[in-house]
């Protein structure tokens, strides 16, 4: 995982858009974004480590998503467009990268700057409820990820706007970052 400020230069969203200004894991933690590295090719396999994190954090459900043209078929372009629209969720978004790569962009408070997080195989990322974020593939145009959930999956993205600013999960998130 590598994190840095997004350069905001127009162009293909799948390019690095690296401003040259790195962001530390400590700063991500201050924003509620958590990260682990669990090698996919670990001699004991990755499942025991993922199971331990799932138990510790009360993740009860999981599935796998394959974001490729082949995996999503006719929905590929529309899904990528939806994933890249700025939104928040009322649940954590947990992804363990099995193959491929992509970018999670999260909004920094209080600056509202985008922080780009490049995820690669073996990266486990937790995006907190209430944080504005978006996702896109990188130039590999493919990612396979294990998704973990505390309860049944909730897929409702709340697009940024006045109503979302008043969403209790957004309000709680903003308060939690202001305290940190």
pLDDT in tens, 41-80: 988 999 999 999 999 999 999 999 999 999 889 999 999 9
Q: Are strands 34-37 and 123-127 parallel, antiparallel or unpaired?
A: antiparallel
Return the pLDDT at 180. 59
* 179 within domain boundaries: no
Quick one: which H or E segment has residue 29? helix 25-30
CATH number of 134's domain = 2.60.120.10
pLDDT greater at residue 154 or residue 125: 125
* 176 within domain boundaries: no
Question: Is residue 154 scored above 80 in pLDDT?
Answer: no
Residue 134 CB contacts under 8 Å (≥ 6 apart), including other chains: 83, 84, 85, 86, 87, 104, 105
* CA 27 – CA 126 distance, rounded (Å): 14
* 83 within domain boundaries: yes
Question: Is residue 159 scored above 90 in pLDDT?
Answer: yes
Q: Coil, helix or strand for 10?
A: coil
* 36 within domain boundaries: yes
Tokens of 22: 């790195």
* 177 within domain boundaries: no
The neighbour count for residue 91, using CB atoms within 10 Å, is: 18
Q: In the chain, what percentage of residues exceed pLDDT 70? A: 98
- Number of folded domains that form the chain: 1
* 166 within domain boundaries: yes
**Which range marks the domain in which residue 158 is found?**
2-7+18-170
């Amino acid at each position: 995982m590598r994190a840095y400020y997004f350069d905001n230069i127009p162009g293909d969203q799948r390019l690095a858009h690296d401003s040259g200004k790195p962001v530390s894991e400590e700063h991500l933690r201050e924003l509620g974004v958590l990260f682990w590295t669990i090698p996919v090719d670990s001699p004991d396999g990755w499942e025991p480590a993922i199971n331990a994190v799932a138990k510790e954090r009360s993740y009860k459900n999981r599935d796998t998503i394959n974001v490729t043209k082949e995996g999503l078929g006719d929905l590929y372009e529309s899904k990528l467009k939806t994933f890249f629209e700025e939104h928040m969720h009322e649940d954590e978004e947990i992804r363990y990268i099995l193959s491929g790569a992509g970018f999670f962009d999260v909004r920094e408070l209080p600056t509202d700057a985008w922080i780009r997080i490049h995820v690669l195989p073996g990266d486990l990322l937790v995006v907190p409820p209430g944080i504005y974020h978006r996702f896109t593939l990188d130039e590999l145009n493919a990612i396979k990820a294990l998704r973990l959930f505390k309860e049944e999956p909730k897929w409702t993205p709340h697009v940024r706007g006045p109503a979302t600013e008043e969403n209790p999960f957004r309000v709680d998130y903003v308060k939690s970052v202001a305290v940190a």
